[in-house]
């Protein structure tokens, strides 16, 4: 299923004008607060009536339907569990009002790990538990589309780590479009398959996550400090010294032990500022992770810095260097260089994004 959104709405002071396609997988609507993200997601849910809207789900218009007929599962930032119902009562709410037996209740409960909570009241749950129940409740309404409005924003890091793997599982298992609103780049980098960047009511970039995160032009829109690339790789071997060798296609990376068998896919996020460049393969260096790459382009990032876009055997990588070094090393597009990776963040199913310093 695919979600297509075309809408415009005049707010006092700014105009929202968005044309967006969300394929199956997780589409992240990224932008600062006030950029119009929540308006878009609420318009899709039918909780807000924009001046003009065309919202198609698999080619079928849904914008003329009231919210309860749109077949959406909405996970709110504040969970919004019904306080007068138990966890089980919340999970089966959608089925009960349709006078049906809940479909896939056991599977959903197991998937989210909330089996022990079923008899509890929302007031007795932690923030993370509440959010998992809210996700379960949305899934059990048999939606054709899932909306998530900053579901992790109210949670601390530990709770985020508790929820993230579940959202990844949904993304990979359900085959439904998930529209996910966020302004937290680490979340976006880890979860998104597609990214749409919203700024002051307008879409300023839209495309596959891997491309947008590594394109210097869009990287600056996403927040320069966090510019970086997503690298798909596979676990190659568990080494005797406790490190895990990961094969990227452009050379091996050694990371602190990851759970997983050889052949398992991993998503690595490498921030631009954690990549150094060398024109010759460095010797006598403590860094383990050196990859050969080719420069695609150089762009000024700020007063003193440059963003260098690299090709890593077909995959993008970003490096941040000073203009002074770029000049001194003679970095130009097409040149072969070596990328020294100082730090890699993990983004993988069932793993809570440890920082791996090599």
Partner 1 sequence: MLAALTPEELTVLGLSLKVSLWATLASLPLGLLAAYALARWRFPGHGLLNGLVHLPLILPPVVTGYLLLLAFGRQGWIGAPLWDWFGVTFAFRWTGAALAAAVMAFPLMVRAIRLAIEAVDPKLEQAAATLGAARPVVFLTVTLPLILPGIIAGAVLAFAKAMGEFGATITFVANIPGQTQTLPTAIYSFLQVPGGEAAAWRLVLISVAVALLALALSEWLSRRVAARIAGR
Q: Which of 18, 26, 94, 243 binds partner 1 (CB under 8 A)?
A: 94
Q: Which of 59, 84, 286, 330 binds partner 1 (CB under 8 A)?
A: 84
- 69 vs 281 by CB, closer to partner 1: 69
The residues near 116 (Cβ < 8 Å, ≥ 6 apart) are none
CA distances from 245 to 138, 271, 301 (A): 39, 20, 33
Asked if 76 touches partner 1 (CB under 8 A), the answer is yes
Asked if 49 touches partner 1 (CB under 8 A), the answer is no
Dist CA 115 CA 109 (whole Å): 6
- 119 vs 217 by CB, closer to partner 1: 119
The residues near 134 (Cβ < 8 Å, ≥ 6 apart) are 75, 76, 79, 80, 81, 151
Asked if 80 touches partner 1 (CB under 8 A), the answer is yes
CA distances from 307 to 190, 273, 282 (A): 21, 9, 21
Dist CA 201 CA 319 (whole Å): 30
Dist CA 41 CA 179 (whole Å): 8
SS3 state at 231: strand
CB of 21 to partner 1, least distance (A): 22
Asked if 124 touches partner 1 (CB under 8 A), the answer is yes
Asked if 137 touches partner 1 (CB under 8 A), the answer is yes
Q: Which stretch binds partner 1 (CB under 8 A): 6-14, 31-39, 68-76, 266-274?
A: 68-76
CB of 32 to partner 1, least distance (A): 23
Q: Which of 12, 59, 66, 284 binds partner 1 (CB under 8 A)?
A: 66
CA distances from 216 to 37, 96, 97 (A): 23, 50, 49
Q: Which stretch binds partner 1 (CB under 8 A): 8-16, 60-68, 109-117, 271-279?
A: 60-68
Q: Which of 133, 138, 307, 346 binds partner 1 (CB under 8 A)?
A: 138
Asked if 144 touches partner 1 (CB under 8 A), the answer is no
Which residue spans within 272-352 are E strands per DSSP? 275-278, 290-300, 305-312, 315-322, 336-341, 343-347
The total of other beta-carbon atoms located within 10 Å of residue 31's CB is 25
Q: Which of 14, 93, 254, 338 binds partner 1 (CB under 8 A)?
A: 93
- 88 vs 200 by CB, closer to partner 1: 88
8 Å CB contact between 77 and 92: no
By CB under 8 A, name the binding residues for partner 1.
45-47, 66-70, 72-74, 76, 78, 80-84, 93-94, 96-98, 121-124, 137-138, 141, 147
């Amino acid at each position: 299923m695919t979600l297509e959104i075309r809408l415009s709405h005049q707010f006092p002071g700014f105009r929202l004008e968005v044309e967006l396609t969300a394929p199956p997988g997780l589409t992240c609507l990224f932008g600062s607060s006030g950029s119009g993200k929540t308006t878009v997601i609420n318009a899709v849910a039918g909780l807000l009536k924009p001046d003009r809207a065309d919202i198609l789900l698999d080619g079928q218009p849904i914008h003329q339907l009231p919210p309860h007929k749109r077949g959406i599962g909405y996970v709110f930032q504040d969970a919004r569990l019904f306080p007068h119902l138990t966890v089980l009562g919340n999970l089966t709410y959608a089925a009960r009002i349709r006078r049906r037996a809940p479909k896939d209740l056991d599977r959903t409960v197991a998937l989210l790990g909330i089996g022990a909570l079923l008899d509890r009241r929302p007031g007795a749950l932690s923030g993370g538990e509440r959010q998992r129940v809210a996700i379960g409740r949305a899934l059990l309404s048999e939606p054709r589309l899932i909306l998530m409005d900053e579901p992790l924003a109210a949670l601390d890091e530990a709770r985020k780590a508790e929820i993230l793997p579940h959202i990844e599982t949904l993304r990979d298992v359900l085959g439904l479009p998930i529209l996910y609103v966020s302004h937290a780049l680490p979340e976006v980098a880890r979860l998104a398959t597609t990214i749409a960047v919203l700024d002051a009511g307008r879409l300023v970039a839209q495309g596959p996550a891997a491309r947008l995160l590594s394109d210097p032009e869009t990287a600056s829109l996403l927040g320069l400090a966090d510019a970086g690339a997503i690298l798909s790789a596979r676990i190659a071997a568990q080494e005797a010294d406790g490190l895990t060798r990961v094969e990227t296609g452009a050379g091996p990376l050694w990371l602190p032990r990851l759970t997983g068998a050889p052949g398992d896919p991993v998503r690595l996020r490498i921030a631009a500022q954690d990549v150094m460049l060398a024109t010759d393969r460095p010797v006598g260096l403590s860094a383990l992770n050196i990859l050969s790459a080719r420069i695609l382009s150089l762009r000024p990032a700020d007063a003193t810095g440059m963003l260098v876009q690299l090709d890593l055997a077909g995959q993008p990588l970003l490096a941040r260097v000073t203009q002074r070094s770029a000049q001194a090393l003679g970095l130009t597009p097409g040149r072969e260089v070596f990328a020294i990776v100082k730090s890699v963040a993990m983004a993988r199913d069932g793993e809570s994004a440890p920082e791996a310093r090599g």
